[in-house]
Protein backbone atom coordinates (compact mmCIF):
# COMPACT_ATOMS: atom_id res chain seq x y z
CA UNK A 1 0.00 0.00 0.00
CA UNK A 2 2.87 2.37 0.75
CA UNK A 3 4.54 1.48 -2.56
CA UNK A 4 1.35 2.20 -4.51
CA UNK A 5 0.90 5.39 -2.47
CA UNK A 6 -2.69 4.57 -1.59
CA UNK A 7 -2.30 6.60 1.60
CA UNK A 8 -1.05 9.83 0.03
CA UNK A 9 -4.47 11.53 -0.04
CA UNK A 10 -5.37 10.69 3.57
CA UNK A 11 -5.36 13.83 5.71
CA UNK A 12 -5.77 12.22 9.12
CA UNK A 13 -5.89 8.74 10.66
CA UNK A 14 -7.75 7.94 13.88
CA UNK A 15 -6.17 5.56 16.39
CA UNK A 16 -8.41 4.44 19.25
CA UNK A 17 -5.42 3.60 21.45
CA UNK A 18 -2.05 5.21 22.03
CA UNK A 19 -0.54 1.78 21.49
CA UNK A 20 -1.89 1.59 17.97
CA UNK A 21 -0.83 5.17 17.24
CA UNK A 22 2.75 4.29 18.20
CA UNK A 23 2.60 1.13 16.06
CA UNK A 24 1.48 3.16 13.04
CA UNK A 25 4.36 5.59 13.55
CA UNK A 26 6.74 2.62 13.91
CA UNK A 27 5.60 1.36 10.51
CA UNK A 28 6.17 4.64 8.75
CA UNK A 29 3.00 6.71 9.08
CA UNK A 30 3.67 10.40 9.85
CA UNK A 31 2.94 11.16 13.51
CA UNK A 32 1.25 14.46 12.68
CA UNK A 33 -1.37 12.57 10.65
CA UNK A 34 -2.44 10.22 13.45
CA UNK A 35 -4.95 11.42 16.04
CA UNK A 36 -5.73 9.50 19.23
CA UNK A 37 -9.49 9.20 19.71
CA UNK A 38 -10.59 6.34 22.01
CA UNK A 39 -13.91 4.56 21.95
CA UNK A 40 -16.65 5.81 24.25
CA UNK A 41 -19.55 4.29 26.13
CA UNK A 42 -22.93 5.56 27.33
CA UNK A 43 -22.87 4.75 31.04
CA UNK A 44 -26.58 5.54 31.41
CA UNK A 45 -27.28 2.18 29.75
CA UNK A 46 -25.50 0.31 32.56
CA UNK A 47 -26.68 -0.14 36.13
CA UNK A 48 -24.29 -0.07 39.08
CA UNK A 49 -24.45 -2.76 41.74
CA UNK A 50 -22.28 -2.97 44.85
CA UNK A 51 -23.14 -6.64 45.32
CA UNK A 52 -22.09 -9.63 43.22
CA UNK A 53 -22.49 -13.39 42.83
CA UNK A 54 -18.80 -14.15 43.37
CA UNK A 55 -17.72 -15.40 39.95
CA UNK A 56 -14.99 -14.42 37.50
CA UNK A 57 -16.32 -13.66 34.01
CA UNK A 58 -15.01 -13.68 30.47
CA UNK A 59 -17.39 -12.48 27.78
CA UNK A 60 -16.67 -12.20 24.09
CA UNK A 61 -15.64 -14.23 21.08
CA UNK A 62 -14.29 -17.72 21.72
CA UNK A 63 -11.28 -17.67 19.43
CA UNK A 64 -7.63 -18.63 19.70
CA UNK A 65 -6.21 -15.16 20.23
CA UNK A 66 -8.46 -14.33 23.19
CA UNK A 67 -6.35 -16.23 25.73
CA UNK A 68 -9.10 -18.56 26.92
CA UNK A 69 -6.86 -21.61 27.26
CA UNK A 70 -4.70 -19.55 29.62
CA UNK A 71 -7.88 -18.55 31.48
CA UNK A 72 -8.87 -22.20 31.90
CA UNK A 73 -5.37 -23.11 33.09
CA UNK A 74 -5.58 -20.29 35.63
CA UNK A 75 -8.94 -21.65 36.79
CA UNK A 76 -7.35 -25.00 37.65
CA UNK A 77 -5.05 -23.15 40.07
CA UNK A 78 -8.04 -21.65 41.90
CA UNK A 79 -10.43 -24.63 42.12
CA UNK A 80 -12.70 -22.98 44.72
CA UNK A 81 -13.43 -19.94 42.51
CA UNK A 82 -16.16 -20.05 39.86
CA UNK A 83 -15.09 -19.04 36.34
CA UNK A 84 -17.81 -18.28 33.77
CA UNK A 85 -17.36 -18.00 30.01
CA UNK A 86 -19.97 -16.19 27.90
CA UNK A 87 -19.79 -16.25 24.13
CA UNK A 88 -19.47 -18.40 21.04
CA UNK A 89 -16.78 -18.91 18.42
CA UNK A 90 -14.53 -21.27 16.49
CA UNK A 91 -12.77 -22.86 19.49
CA UNK A 92 -15.86 -23.39 21.64
CA UNK A 93 -15.76 -27.19 21.21
CA UNK A 94 -12.02 -27.26 21.83
CA UNK A 95 -12.42 -25.34 25.09
CA UNK A 96 -15.32 -27.50 26.27
CA UNK A 97 -13.30 -30.62 25.50
CA UNK A 98 -10.37 -29.22 27.49
CA UNK A 99 -12.64 -28.60 30.48
CA UNK A 100 -14.44 -31.96 30.24
CA UNK A 101 -11.31 -34.07 29.74
CA UNK A 102 -9.54 -32.22 32.52
CA UNK A 103 -12.53 -32.68 34.84
CA UNK A 104 -12.42 -28.95 35.59
CA UNK A 105 -15.53 -28.34 37.66
CA UNK A 106 -15.16 -24.61 38.29
CA UNK A 107 -15.42 -23.47 34.64
CA UNK A 108 -18.94 -22.99 33.27
CA UNK A 109 -19.95 -22.12 29.72
CA UNK A 110 -23.07 -19.95 29.56
CA UNK A 111 -23.31 -19.73 25.77
CA UNK A 112 -23.93 -16.65 23.66
CA UNK A 113 -25.66 -13.78 25.47
CA UNK A 114 -26.55 -10.25 24.43
CA UNK A 115 -28.55 -7.20 25.43
CA UNK A 116 -30.05 -6.94 28.91
CA UNK A 117 -29.19 -10.54 29.76
CA UNK A 118 -25.48 -9.99 29.08
CA UNK A 119 -25.47 -6.74 31.04
CA UNK A 120 -27.03 -8.52 34.00
CA UNK A 121 -24.39 -11.26 33.92
CA UNK A 122 -21.62 -8.64 33.77
CA UNK A 123 -23.14 -6.64 36.64
CA UNK A 124 -23.28 -9.72 38.91
CA UNK A 125 -19.65 -10.76 38.38
CA UNK A 126 -16.94 -10.13 40.96
CA UNK A 127 -14.65 -9.05 38.13
CA UNK A 128 -14.16 -9.36 34.39
CA UNK A 129 -11.13 -10.80 32.61
CA UNK A 130 -9.67 -9.75 29.26
CA UNK A 131 -6.86 -12.29 28.72
CA UNK A 132 -6.14 -11.59 25.05
CA UNK A 133 -2.88 -12.81 23.55
CA UNK A 134 -2.89 -10.55 20.49
CA UNK A 135 -2.89 -6.78 20.02
CA UNK A 136 -6.25 -5.53 21.22
CA UNK A 137 -6.83 -1.88 20.38
CA UNK A 138 -9.39 -0.26 22.69
CA UNK A 139 -11.57 -3.25 23.65
CA UNK A 140 -15.18 -2.36 24.39
CA UNK A 141 -15.30 -5.24 26.88
CA UNK A 142 -13.11 -3.20 29.25
CA UNK A 143 -15.30 -0.11 28.90
CA UNK A 144 -18.49 -2.15 29.29
CA UNK A 145 -17.10 -3.74 32.45
CA UNK A 146 -16.16 -0.40 33.94
CA UNK A 147 -19.56 1.04 33.01
CA UNK A 148 -21.08 -1.79 35.07
CA UNK A 149 -18.71 -0.93 37.95
CA UNK A 150 -16.78 -4.18 37.58
CA UNK A 151 -12.97 -4.25 37.90
CA UNK A 152 -10.96 -5.80 35.07
CA UNK A 153 -8.02 -8.19 35.07
CA UNK A 154 -6.31 -7.74 31.71
CA UNK A 155 -3.26 -9.11 29.94
CA UNK A 156 -0.25 -6.89 29.43
CA UNK A 157 -0.54 -6.52 25.66
CA UNK A 158 -1.70 -4.01 23.06
CA UNK A 159 -4.07 -1.29 24.21
CA UNK A 160 -5.37 -3.19 27.25
CA UNK A 161 -2.91 -1.92 29.91
CA UNK A 162 -3.47 1.72 28.98
CA UNK A 163 -7.15 1.33 29.89
CA UNK A 164 -6.54 -0.30 33.28
CA UNK A 165 -4.98 1.61 36.16
CA UNK A 166 -3.14 -1.02 38.19
CA UNK A 167 -4.65 -1.58 41.66
CA UNK A 168 -7.08 1.32 41.12
CA UNK A 169 -9.69 -0.09 38.75
CA UNK A 170 -8.15 -3.45 37.90
CA UNK A 171 -5.04 -5.60 37.66
CA UNK A 172 -2.60 -6.50 34.88
CA UNK A 173 -1.08 -9.95 34.42
CA UNK A 174 1.72 -11.24 32.22
CA UNK A 175 0.37 -12.37 28.86
CA UNK A 176 0.31 -16.21 28.46
CA UNK A 177 1.23 -16.63 32.16
CA UNK A 178 -1.51 -18.73 33.80
CA UNK A 179 0.18 -18.67 37.19
CA UNK A 180 0.39 -14.88 37.31
CA UNK A 181 -3.19 -14.70 36.02
CA UNK A 182 -4.36 -17.05 38.76
CA UNK A 183 -2.64 -14.97 41.43
CA UNK A 184 -4.50 -11.84 40.27
CA UNK A 185 -7.81 -13.73 40.24
CA UNK A 186 -7.11 -15.07 43.73
CA UNK A 187 -6.37 -11.56 44.97
CA UNK A 188 -9.73 -10.33 43.68
CA UNK A 189 -11.50 -13.22 45.35
CA UNK A 190 -9.77 -12.60 48.67
CA UNK A 191 -10.26 -8.82 48.58
CA UNK A 192 -13.89 -8.43 47.59
CA UNK A 193 -14.38 -5.05 49.25
CA UNK A 194 -11.41 -3.69 47.32
CA UNK A 195 -12.77 -5.24 44.15
CA UNK A 196 -16.01 -3.31 44.62
CA UNK A 197 -14.06 -0.07 45.13
CA UNK A 198 -12.05 -0.79 41.98
CA UNK A 199 -15.23 -1.31 40.01
CA UNK A 200 -16.61 2.03 41.16
CA UNK A 201 -13.32 3.68 40.19
CA UNK A 202 -13.67 2.14 36.73
CA UNK A 203 -17.19 3.51 36.46
CA UNK A 204 -15.94 7.00 37.31
CA UNK A 205 -13.14 6.64 34.75
CA UNK A 206 -15.50 5.95 31.86
CA UNK A 207 -17.87 8.67 33.04
CA UNK A 208 -15.02 11.21 33.03
CA UNK A 209 -12.76 10.08 30.19
CA UNK A 210 -14.67 7.82 27.80
CA UNK A 211 -17.92 9.66 27.34
CA UNK A 212 -19.83 10.76 24.25
CA UNK A 213 -19.17 14.50 24.68
CA UNK A 214 -15.40 14.09 24.79
CA UNK A 215 -15.49 11.68 21.85
CA UNK A 216 -17.42 14.00 19.56
CA UNK A 217 -15.39 17.02 20.64
CA UNK A 218 -12.38 15.10 19.31
User: What is the per-residue burial (b if ≥16 Cβ within 10 Å, else e) of 153-182?
Assistant: bbbebbbbbebbeeeebbbbbebbbbebbb
pLDDT in tens, the chain (218 residues): 667 667 777 889 999 999 999 999 998 889 999 999 999 999 999 989 888 999 999 999 999 999 999 999 999 999 999 999 999 999 999 999 999 999 999 999 999 999 999 999 999 999 999 999 999 999 999 999 999 999 999 999 999 999 999 999 999 999 999 999 999 999 999 999 999 999 999 999 999 999 999 898 87
Query: DSSP 3-state assignment of 170?
Result: strand
SS3 110: strand
pLDDT of residue 1: 64
Q: CA-to-CA distance for 215 and 140, rounded, in angstroms?
A: 14
| 3-class secondary-structure state, position 132 | coil
Amino acid sequence: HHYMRYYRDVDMYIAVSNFYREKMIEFGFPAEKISYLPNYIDVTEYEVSKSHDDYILYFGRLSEEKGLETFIKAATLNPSINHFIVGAGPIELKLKTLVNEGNISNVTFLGFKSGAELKMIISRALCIVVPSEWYENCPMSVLESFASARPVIGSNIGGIPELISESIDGLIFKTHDAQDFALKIKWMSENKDEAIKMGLAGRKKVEDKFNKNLHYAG
